[in-house]
Structure 1
Amino acid sequence: MSPTPADPDAWNAYLAEGNAKQARKRVAADVLLRDPLGRVLLVNPTYKPGWDLPGGMAEANEPPEETVRRELREELGRDIDLLGLLVVDWVAPHGPWDDQIAFIFNGGTFSDGEALQPHDHELSEARFVPLEKARDLVSHRMRRRLNAAVKALEAGRPTYLRDGATNW
């Protein structure tokens, strides 16, 4: 016989056992942040090749929007207000990695004239670049997500991708 909510200790143990057997997803959260000229902020990570949107991997039990805010504080010393969700992308297992859920949030326009400088060892550089150049600098996987984020921004509604594609 299965435990019931009438026995809270047994019920919680039963739920914890089920929780322990369920899949865990890695979560990444990035931000599309532009300057008044429409250029896109990219960062150059020191721990992997190529440029990327600002953001990173979520910590345990951390909401994706808090991941973006934390990463920008840690890596660029900036607090930003997010203006909404642009992209959710389910990323298939690849290389040594299990699947993940990747988010891109709208960071709006950064109007502070002060240059953004990396504040920790994870980034070597941060700069605003024209969208076309940004597409050339990021990985193929991120390029598809960036393109979807720009389209979502123009359409005024978020989009769901399955491994970077909308035609699933």
Structure 2
Amino acid sequence: MPDQPDTQLSTVSDRVARIHWSADLAERGWQAAVDVVRRDVAAALVDHDRVEAVVPADDDQAQRIATWSGLRREGIQRGVGGDRVVYARLVDDVPVHEPGGFRALLNSFLPRKRAISQMLVRDTSPEPRVLLCQLTYKTDWDLPGGVVEVGESPLLAVAREVDEELGLQIPAGPLLLTDWLPPWGGWDDALCLVFDGGVHEPSLVERIVPQAREIRSAEFCTLDEVDERAADFSARRIRAAMGNLGGGPAYTESGR
């Protein structure tokens, strides 16, 4: 029986090829495998615009081979029999030996973390009160704010969210707190940044125009009311931010 080739290439759509390497090649060591796969990917790109590899999500060596062969990680393909990771290289990708190409390769697989920006808005009442939003998509109340978009400054994101959700133009002040949120209820972990929204008259709520899709209402609440209405980790975060007013940025994990 003739020897099986180290790699196999198949055309999966117009000018798109998929590369697969043998278990025998992987057993020779990842560096030897990288040399072969990198060569064959380059050869395939002569006649194709895209070369991709799909490898099991639990196969660390296969992922290493794909990465250092110059294939950028694109995402997870979920499956009943197990998830797979999709890697690909395009004909016009910057060569890996150039700084921009190497950075793009690293950027494709290094961890990314979701960021959430919130604003701590207080009023002039004798008892400390903060602005809380009653949300349409969950029962817990929370500070105004939201997810930071890709490439967006967290400082600008929180002001944008407050404007979009409440119709209020409040510039974000100093960062009060960075709170790490562990994975929970189907969410990946995240960083929540709480910015100071300053002190305002209680009549501020009369100017609020809630975004109907996300906000039911908004009120200034005492810290006891925060404990009653917010999730426990949100209440801890709010108290930690309140306790750090004027103290410089602080760090907590789930409000602790």
Between Structure 1 and Structure 2, which shows a larger proportion of strand residues? 2
The answer to whether 1:28 aligns with 2:116 is yes
Q: Write the distance in 1 (CA, Å) between the matches of 2:167 and 2:105.
A: 40
2:150: which partner in 1? 60
Higher radius of gyration, 1 or 2:
2
1:74: which partner in 2? 164
Aligned length: 159
1:51: which partner in 2? 141
Deviations 1:9-45 (A, max 9, x none): 8221111000111111111111110111132100011
Q: Counterpart of 1:97 in structure 2: which amino acid?
A: W
Deviations 1:122-156 (A, max 9, x none): 10011112222122211011011111101101x52
2:250: which partner in 1? 159
Q: Which runs of 5+ in 2 are unaligned?
A: 1-67, 69-94
- Structure number with greater CO (CA < 8 Å, separation at least 6) is 1
2:91: which partner in 1? none
Give percent identity, aligned residues only.
36
Alpha-carbon deviation of 1:55? 0.5
Pick from 220, 223, 227 the counterpart of residue 131 of structure 1. 223
Pick from 126, 130, 145 the counterpart of residue 237 of structure 2. 145
Q: Write the distance in 2 (CA, Å) between the matches of 1:42 and 1:94.
A: 22
Q: Write the distance in 1 (CA, Å) between the matches of 2:236 and 2:105.
A: 38
Segments of 4+ moved more than 3 angstroms:
none
TM-score, normalising length: structure 1: 0.86
Contact 2:134 2:217 in 1 (8 A): yes
Pick from 183, 195, 214 the counterpart of residue 93 of structure 1. 183
Contact 1:144 1:164 in 2 (8 A): yes
Contact 1:33 1:108 in 2 (8 A): yes
Deviations 1:95-126 (A, max 9, x none): 21111111111101123735123133210011
TM-score, normalising length: structure 2: 0.58
Q: Counterpart of 2:113 in structure 1: which amino acid?
A: K
